[in-house]
Amino acid sequence: MMGILWNLGAFLVALGILIAVHEFGHFWVARRCGVYVERFSIGFGKPLWRRVDKQGTEYILAMIPLGGYVKMLDERVDTVPAERRHQAFNNKSLWQRSAIVAAGPLANFVFAIFAYWVVYLIGVPAVKPVIGEVAPQSIAAQAGIESGMELKSVSGIQTPDWESVNMAMISHIGDDEMTLTAVPSEESYEKTFNLDLRNWSFDPESERILTTLGLTPFSPPITLEIGQLVDNGAAKKAGFEIGDTIVAIDKQPITQWLQVVDAVRSSPDQALTVQLRRGDELVEASLTPISKELPSGEWVGYAGFAPVMSEWPADQRFVRQYGPIEAIGEATGKTWQLVTLTFDMVTKLVTGDVALKNLSGPISIAKGAGTTADYGIVYFLGFLALISVNLGIVNLLPLPVLDGGHLLFFAIEAVTRRPVSERIQDLGYRLGSVILVVLMAVALINDFTRL
């Protein structure tokens, strides 16, 4: 229950920030174009808080925090006194109206740059993308990639860490090939590899993109020493202690942690005899893993303990941190990469290269907000930047109910030298609303199937 409340709280904070940023973009440019703004609202429904400034604009924080709006003086909506007609949105020039509408998505992109700028000022821990294993006969193996190589770029995009690698690779869903550059182990020169993706299949719901290509990231060896115990867990009840080393299970010698995992998972509610080294002596414990049901319906054993991880090599760990000026360039580059990736994914959704089942809705976003907030401010800011870019691009889609639809009407007006008729606009709004409702329904259904 607490997890749900935490996710919901983080989601509302994230949504409130991003809506405020988007609507402030419209508001700020509208005022500079001489448009009178009647109301700036975050949320819909009954006002929980309100204030009126010297210009007469009403600021509202409303009960339903699922959107927001900026209400401007407009003769198409209300009767406007003759002396104030020059302050109405509809009486402004075409470029001014276009600037006001485009300012919302633009504000989202600017915010993403700011968020990443703060992230890079604080610094984010990262590890170099060194390959641990390459699966035989996999796409990566056929391209000639070997264990121990460090990935440097994916199709020209620099990849200093695994996050960058994943983001760059996702953009290749539906493509026929991918180019990687990598530095072989203990060498200093880069080699180029062309991956044939014509037979590549990737389901983001159940697979990791690296695994589908045959790549496993390097990770430090896992020891057989007990490093963590869950209170009231099966291992604690069996007498396990932190610092114990697992020697054998049911008289079978244990040399790898994966053997421990397999033994526990395959023995729900079944007693296991575990031999442990504790200091200079050997002790035996009777461990009965509890049953735990996976989302797939499978029942597995769970014992409530974790191993000590070996130290990560110092030359592979680093902190992505930059000075105030350098961070601007890094943040701008990261935001641009997100923009191009999102545009690419939207295009592939339309062409069918990416399935609709990959759409995510508010439930998935809430989970992401809660998880990143749990990790700390740096990760939460990165999440805000990602969602802000997505919000900006979605609003630029040429659907009449969105900013992109208004810009489409303005583009037609620029060509025809006259506004699009109200009848055509009304028809467009109705069609756009239907499309949005359908997409939201698909996204919600996808969310519920992931629960």
Q: Is residue 210 domain-shared with residue 316, that is, in the same domain?
A: yes
Q: Is residue 255 domain-shared with residue 229, that is, in the same domain?
A: yes
Q: Is residue 190 domain-shared with residue 316, that is, in the same domain?
A: yes
CATH value at residue 270:
2.30.42.10
What is the number of structural domains in the chain? 2
Domain's final residue, options 268, 300, 320: 320
Residue 207 has pLDDT above 90, yes or no: no
Q: Is residue 34 part of a domain?
A: no
Query: Going by C-beta distance under 8 Å and a sequence separation of 6 or more, which residues neighbour residue 134?
Result: 140, 141, 145, 146, 147, 214, 215, 216
Q: pTM for the complete prediction? A: 0.79
Q: Is residue 154 part of a domain?
A: yes
Q: Is residue 196 domain-shared with residue 283, that is, in the same domain?
A: no
> At 358, is the pLDDT very low, low, confident or very high (cuts 50, 70, 90)?
low
Domain's final residue, options 283, 310, 337: 310
> What confidence score (pLDDT) does residue 14 get?
82
Q: Is residue 315 domain-shared with residue 186, that is, in the same domain?
A: yes
Q: Is residue 49 part of a domain?
A: no
Range of the domain at 297: 222-310
Helices (H), 176-220: 209-213
For residues 118 and 322, is the Cβ–Cβ distance under 8 A?
Answer: no
Tell me the pLDDT tens digit for each residue of 283-330. 999 999 999 877 667 888 899 899 988 888 888 888 889 999 999 999
Tell me the pLDDT tens digit for each residue of 55-79. 889 999 988 877 888 999 988 888 8
For residues 196 and 189, is the Cβ–Cβ distance under 8 A?
Answer: no
Report which of 447, 251, 250, 245 is spatially closest to residue 363, judged by C-alpha positions.
Answer: 447
Q: Is residue 195 part of a domain?
A: yes
Looking at this protein, which amino acid is placed at residue 304?
G
Q: Is residue 82 part of a domain?
A: no
User: Active-site residue numbers?
Assistant: 23
Which helix (H) or strand (E) covers residue 113, if one does?
helix 94-122
Supply the mean pLDDT for the chain: 85
Q: Is residue 154 domain-shared with residue 230, that is, in the same domain?
A: no
Q: Is residue 281 domain-shared with residue 269, that is, in the same domain?
A: yes
Tell me the pLDDT tens digit for each residue of 159-172. 998 888 888 888 88
Residue with tokens 């020169």, as numbered in its chain: 189
